Amino acid sequence: MRAWWIPLLATLVLAGCAGGGGTAPVSSAGVDDDDSSGGGRYAMSSDAYPEEPPDVSQVPDAVPRIEPRSRAGNRSTYEVWGKTYHVLDDATGYERRGTASWYGEKFQGYATSNGEIYDMYKMSAAHRSLPLPSFARVTNLDNGRSVIVRVNDRGPFHSEREIDLSYAAAARLDILDHGTGRVKVEAIDPADWQAQHGGADDDARARPVAASDGAGAAPEGAVYLQVAALGSVAGADALKARLQDALSRPVRVASDAGLHRVQVGPLAGRAQIDPVRGELRRAGFDEAFVVDTRAD
């Protein structure tokens, strides 16, 4: 059931990125553990916007939570194009100012460095040295806007850029049109964050959305696990089909403001959420979060 992406893991264990995007996209490239030549798709000259960009202004920040280090993408040192990089043992206290870039269509649907599937409509990022996964607050120094991203990829490997942001994160920070922006990156300690926010990981809620697959409105009090938010109806339907083959629970596609959210459920609270999360992890989907239609 995971056969569709297993080959990607074999070839893209250290797939990184290096800042595409903007009205005049710059070159973008990444490599795997065994090939530092930047060939194939990574030799493409530029990244790109989605053909029909959805409204991502309401995509929620990543929710910091305590996670084990990924099996892939966390070598203490690694080499890209002849340059050696070092991965931090601990992200605590990390703070840097620098240039942020973003990556989009060119990498959409491909494996990130830690083996997850890149979704440019999620709040994620690539970084050269932060452990995978980790969480960071990124602030645009020119306008004060701030987002929280989950770092699950390596890069950028061009110039001295500090971080590569997903399309959604770059849009929230208003750096899409410029291609890059001046930012401050601050690592977040998930334990401290949850203590300050009352364990928000378990209670994370998204506003309800209308179902696009004929399922009708969500039942009152329904709880779902959201796996992805995609800009393509076809992509969302394909993911729904894969999940239906892999899981013992119903799957729906819910659409709102040009985003198509793939959700598992409805589920009856914690008694069903934890087992389904386990099924999703075994199927290769580690980032599902709770959507509670009781939020309103």
Instruction: Report the alpha-carbon distance of residue 146 to residue 166 in Å, rounded.
Output: 14
Give the predicted TM-score (pTM) of the model. 0.58
Instruction: Report the alpha-carbon distance of residue 34 to residue 118 in Å, rounded.
Output: 20
Find residue 228's DSSP bridge partners: 262
Domain ranges of the chain: 6-195, 205-295
Does the 6-195 domain belong in CATH 2.40.40.10? yes
CB atoms within 10 A of CB 244: 13
**Cβ atoms 47, 103 nearer than 8 A:** yes
pLDDT of residue 53: 66
Confidence tier at 170 by pLDDT (50, 70, 90): very high
Instruction: Report the alpha-carbon distance of residue 145 to residue 275 in Å, rounded.
Output: 37
Note the pLDDT tens digit of each residue in 17-39: 543 433 222 223 333 333 333 33
Cis peptide before 7 (omega within 30 of 0): no
pLDDT of residue 216: 39
Note the pLDDT tens digit of each residue in 186-231: 999 998 888 887 654 443 333 333 444 534 344 445 788 888 887 7
The CATH number, out of the four listed (3.40.630.30, 3.30.70.1070, 3.10.180.10, 1.20.140.10), of the domain defined by the range 205-295: 3.30.70.1070
Confidence tier at 6 by pLDDT (50, 70, 90): very low
**Cβ atoms 126, 164 nearer than 8 A:** yes
